[in-house]
Amino acid sequence: MSVIYLLLTLSIVVAVIFFAAFIIATKSGQYDDSYTPSVRMLFEDELVKSTPEKTEEISNQKSESQKL
C-alpha cells in the first residue's frame, strides 16, 4: 500500500506542473488581452492570399474580380 506515496507524489507533481504553466502564462501576458487573438486566428488564410510573391497586378485584378 506504500504505493500511495508514489501516487500522491505523482499527482501533486502533475498538478504543480499545470499550476506552474498557469503562472507562466499569466506572467507572459497571455490573459491580458482575451479578445484580439480570437479575431487574429481568423486571418491566417487571407495572409497567404496576399503574400508578396504574387505580383501586384494579379492580386489587384483578383481583388477586383471578387468585388464585381
Partner 1 sequence: MDKATCYHCGDDCGNNPINHNDKNFCCNGCKTVYEIFSNNDLSYYYDLQSAAGASPKEVAGKYDFLESQNIVEKLIEFNDNGTQIINLYIPHIHCSSCIWILENLNKLNKGINSSQVDFPKKTVRVTFNSNKVSLKELVLLMARIGYEPYISLDDYDKTKKGTDRSMSYKLGIAGFAFGNVMFLSFPEYFEVGEFWLEQFKGVFRWLMFVFSLPVVFYAAQDYFISAYKGLRSKFLNIDIPIALGILVLFLRSTVEIIFDWGSGFFDSLTGLVFFLLLGKFFQQKTYSYLSFERDYKSYFPIAVTRITSENTEENTQVYDIKSGDRLLIRNGELIPVDAILINGNAKIDYSFVTGESEPVEKRSGDKVYAGGRQISSAIEIEAIKSVSQSYLTQLWSNAVFQQDKSGSFQTLTDSIGKRFTIAVLTIAFVSAIIWLIIDPSKTINVFTAVLIIACPCAIALAAPFTLGNMLRIFGRHGFYLRDTQTIEQLAQIDTAIFDKTGTITTAEKGNVYYEGLELTSEEESLLKNTLRSSNHPLSRKLYDMLAEQNIVPLEEYEEYLGQGIKGSTVTDSVKIGSAAFVGNTNINNKDSTSVHLSSNDEYKGCFIFQNQYRDGVGETFKTMSRDLELAILSGDNAGERANLTKLLPPGTPLYFNQKPDNKLQFIKSLQDQNKNVMMVGDGLNDAGALAQSNVGIAISENVNVFSPACDGILDAKNFKSLYQYILASRKAIKIIKLSFILSLMYNLVGLYFAVTGQLQPVIAAILMPLSSISIVIFTTVATNLLGKKLRQ
Site residues, partner 1 (CB under 8 A) = 1, 4-5, 8, 12, 15, 19, 22-23, 26-27, 29, 31-36, 39-40, 42-43, 46-47, 49-50, 52, 54, 56, 59-60, 63-64, 66-68
Q: How far, in Å, CA of 13 to CA of 2, rounded?
A: 17
Closer residue to partner 1 in complex, CB, 10/12: 12
CB of 65 to partner 1, least distance (A): 12
Q: How far, in Å, CA of 68 to CA of 65, rounded?
A: 5
